[in-house]
């Protein structure tokens, strides 16, 4: 028995755990890599026990049906022997009694198995549940560690982004202030000459915007309404 079994199995006594291999959601808990040989082995063993249990129930049902049939026929044979005894009827009666005895023995064996199998199924199901929990909690712990790393990275990026935004605003304010002072000191004509040399792209953008504006049709003055007052 593993350490996990020693710790958890006593705590699971009396707890109702659903049969895991019959639950489709249980199969979705694992990736192919996590589907270990131990889990696969326990799954197969548990399914075999469930098949044995189903077969034992069916066998027991059929045996009881056969026993009832034999008992009903024994009553009829008993009446027939009482009225007209014969070796043939007596032999048939012995055969029916032998079949009933065999049925009784097999029914007892089936019922014993049906008492033992649920205990084995429950025990193995609990072991499978413990193995499942170990896989799931390992995955949870790994995911949690990765989440913490991601959150730390996001926090760092946010802090850096705030610094960059402040720096951007400072640089924009400084540029605006420098440009304003230069305009005041040197005048717009001089600044335009230097803009063409040092900021050709910006100057080109301004030229394109001016050209676009000049290409737009001028709004025609609205004609006076005939009913309007003449000056």
pTM, rounded to two decimals:
0.63
Residue at 218 is within a domain: no
Distance CA 21, CA 3 (A): 24
Mean pLDDT of 130-157: 93
Residues 96 and 59 in one domain: yes
Mean pLDDT of 188-207: 69
What confidence tens digit (pLDDT) does each residue in 206-222 have? 555 554 555 565 555 55
**Res. 197: pLDDT tops 80:** no
Distance CA 45, CA 180 (A): 85
Residue at 228 is within a domain: no
Question: How big, in percent rounded to 5, are the helix, strand and coil portions of the chain?
Answer: 80, 0, 20
Q: Cβ neighbours of residue 132 under 8 Å, at least 6 residues apart?
A: 20, 26, 29, 39
What's residue 194's pLDDT?
Answer: 79
Distance CA 121, CA 127 (A): 10
Phi/psi region, residue 78 (left: phi>0; alpha: psi -120 to 50; beta: rest), is alpha
Residues 198 and 115 in one domain: no
Residues 61 and 152 in one domain: yes
Among 8-22, 116-130, 137-151, name the one with the lowest average pLDDT: 8-22
Residue bearing the bigger pLDDT, 15 or 37:
37
Residues 19 and 115 in one domain: yes
Q: Which residues of 137-157 are buried (b: 16+ CB within 10 A; e: fewer)?
A: eeeeeeeeeeeeeeeeeeeee
What confidence tens digit (pLDDT) does each residue in 157-181 have? 999 999 999 999 999 999 889 888 8
Residue at 200 is within a domain: yes
Please check whether residue 67 is in contact with residue 121, taking contact to mean a CB–CB distance below 8 angstroms: no
Distance CA 78, CA 57 (A): 31
Residues 32 and 105 in one domain: yes
Residues 149 and 167 in one domain: no
Distance CA 174, CA 172 (A): 5
Distance CA 3, CA 131 (A): 12
93 CB burial (10 A radius; 0-12, 13-18, 19+): middle
Distance CA 65, CA 106 (A): 13
Residue at 219 is within a domain: no
Last residue of a domain, one of 120, 142, 161: 161
Residues 106 and 64 in one domain: yes
Residues 201 and 127 in one domain: no
What's residue 17's pLDDT?
Answer: 84
Residues 93 and 192 in one domain: no
Domain that holds residue 138: 3-161
Residues 147 and 44 in one domain: yes
Residues 16 and 103 in one domain: yes
Angstrom CA distances, 84 to 81, 88, 93, 167, stand at: 5, 11, 13, 118
Q: Which contacts of 51-54 are long-range, i.e. CB under 8 A and separated by 24 or more positions?
A: 52/113, 52/117, 53/113, 53/114, 53/117, 53/118, 53/121
Residues 106 and 200 in one domain: no
């Amino acid at each position: 028995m593993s350490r996990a079994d020693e710790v958890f199995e006593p705590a699971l006594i009396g707890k109702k755990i659903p049969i895991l291999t019959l639950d489709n959601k249980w199969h979705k808990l694992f990736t192919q890599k996590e589907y270990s040989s131990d889990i696969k082995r326990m799954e197969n063993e548990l399914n075999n026990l469930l098949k044995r249990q189903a077969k034992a129930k069916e066998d027991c049902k059929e045996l009881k049906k056969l026993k009832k049939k034999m008992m009903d026929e024994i009553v009829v044979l008993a009446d027939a022997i009482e009225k007209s005894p014969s070796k043939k009827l007596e032999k048939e009666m012995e055969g029916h009694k032998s079949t009933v005895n065999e049925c009784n023995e097999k029914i007892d064996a089936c019922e014993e198995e049906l008492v033992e199998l649920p205990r084995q199924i429950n025990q193995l199901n609990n072991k499978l549940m413990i193995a499942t929990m170990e896989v799931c909690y390992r995955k949870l712990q790994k995911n949690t560690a990765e989440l913490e790393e991601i959150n730390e990275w996001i926090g760092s990026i946010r802090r850096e982004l705030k610094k960059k935004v402040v720096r951007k605003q400072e640089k924009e304010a400084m540029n605006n202030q420098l440009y304003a002072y230069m305009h005041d000191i040197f005048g717009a004509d001089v600044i335009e000459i230097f803009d063409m040399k040092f900021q050709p792209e910006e100057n080109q953008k301004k030229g394109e915007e001016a050209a676009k504006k000049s290409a737009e049709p001028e709004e025609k003055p609205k004609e006076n309404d005939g009913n309007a007052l003449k000056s």
